[in-house]
Amino acid sequence: MPSEPSSFLQRLHRAAGAARDLLAQRAKSRWELFAKASEVHTLTRSATFPELETKIEETGVAVRITSGGKSGFAAASGLEAAASRQAIEGALASAVPQPADPIPPTRFLGSVRPPERPGPPPAGWASFIVERLDGHIRAESRGLLTPLEILVHEGRYAWILTNGDGFVATHQGTACSLTVELARDGWGAARQWIWIRDPAALDPEELAVRITNRGLLGGSPGSLRSGLWDVLLASGPAAGLLAALEPLFVAGSGDGTSVARLLDREGRLASPCLTLIDDRSGQYGPLTAPCDGEGLPARQITILEEGVPRHQLASYADAITAGGVPNGGARRVSYRDPPASGIANLMVISEGGEPPARLLERAPAALYLTRLLAPVTIDAGRNLIRLLASGLQLAGGRPASWHPILELRSGLGPMLRSIDAIGTDLDWNETAAGYVGSPSILIRRQPVFEGV
């Protein structure tokens, strides 16, 4: 990959300087500029097509302007002066009245130093990993699993956030992940996403064993008696469940009384087993940054503490509108999007959890749901949840029968309070709501139906 984050930063500083000169001419306006440059290298090995390598660079500028009770936002691709001018003109043209100025005052802004992360992998690393992983999966599974597609994503990026009051925050970093799609005779395909914290430390043989163990879980097809079952959610389905709860954890997402209506008499939303944080500092999860999406210092935000709601994630505007204190809960999905309340690295605190073998001992006849078939849906107003997955019926803690479609339909609050244990096998998952780190989760006595 030819571009380095340092060269990205040089270009970003030049773009920010040009935009600042244009914005300075509007002395009565408050403004915020966000510029980002990124490059993604993807290597794809498919069972049906030749190996494909792509490199995509993306750059852009975003501007928020507020003046006279109105606020506007616009973005433009590129880092040239023309892009800054386009974004500024778009922000002015889109300005509409706002109940509160959405740009945080400088007194709330600041940054912290994110933890050091390993650098990018060397040239040729992606090809080496794909080759070795493909061979190890086939050998480890004795031909039962076929890698349909293996994708390696390597990314480098840098961004700058600045405003008219003189605040400046910059960040640069790398990201690496794998996506593996497997087929097993008679059982269809399964897709796994794996975050790679340190490419240099990745052992393709050990990773192949992990992927193969998941892919080979199964048994003979069987019929299931619909009714109440203990349910063991693997990390992926558990992360999907937590991602679906995002509206409950985010200020300004709709009915502010929804969470209150779901609490029990002790004020719990969930079982005491469940403690959730959103790790803005990047100490644990894939996303690192010195600040949130609009410049408040990165921190860890406790969302649930032993099942009791503590803090909601909120952008500055959402916090002020809700009468709360800004806590740095804004995120930027890309330079094209204004900052909004949302999760970054949502994580279950799994210290003190049970090893997976112990979870199986505690629920030897559970339904083990291993793969989501659709996004988990919740209706907080009606206190309902629906989770559709494939999985196994266990007997004595071992797979007894395979069930391609299982549906859990339950009361949302009662289900969350029925969580009996969490595992120690925390994995990070990429979801539509953000990154979610979850271990396996054991839930007692839930209504499950087959083949819905």
The percentage of the chain sitting over the pLDDT mark of 90, rounded to a whole number, equals 76
Tell me: do 404 and 290 sit in the same domain.
yes
Tell me: do 210 and 226 sit in the same domain.
no
**pLDDT band at residue 444, thresholds of 50, 70 and 90?**
very high
Tell me: do 347 and 225 sit in the same domain.
yes
Let me know: does 94 contact 118? Beta carbons within 8 Å. Answer: no
d(CA 113, CA 154): 23
d(CA 108, CA 90): 27
d(CA 349, CA 369): 21
Over residues 423-445, the mean pLDDT reads 97
Model confidence pLDDT, tens digit, residues 72-112 = 999 999 999 999 999 999 999 999 999 889 999 999 999 99
The structural domain count of the chain equals 2
Tell me: do 315 and 443 sit in the same domain.
yes
Can you give the CATH number for the domain in which 198 is found? Answer: 3.30.2290.10
Tell me: do 193 and 292 sit in the same domain.
no
**pLDDT band at residue 6, thresholds of 50, 70 and 90?**
low
Model confidence pLDDT, tens digit, residues 22-47 = 888 775 789 999 999 999 999 999 98
Over residues 369-398, the mean pLDDT reads 93
Residue type, 93: A
Tell me: do 238 and 171 sit in the same domain.
no
Tell me: do 282 and 409 sit in the same domain.
yes
Tell me: do 210 and 262 sit in the same domain.
no
Would you state the pLDDT for residue 9? 85
* Residue 151 CB partners (closer than 8 Å, separation 6+): 42, 43, 44, 45, 178, 179, 180
Tell me: do 177 and 240 sit in the same domain.
no
Its domain, for residue 256, covers 220-450
Tell me: do 155 and 69 sit in the same domain.
yes
pLDDT at 324 over 90: no
Tell me: do 283 and 141 sit in the same domain.
no
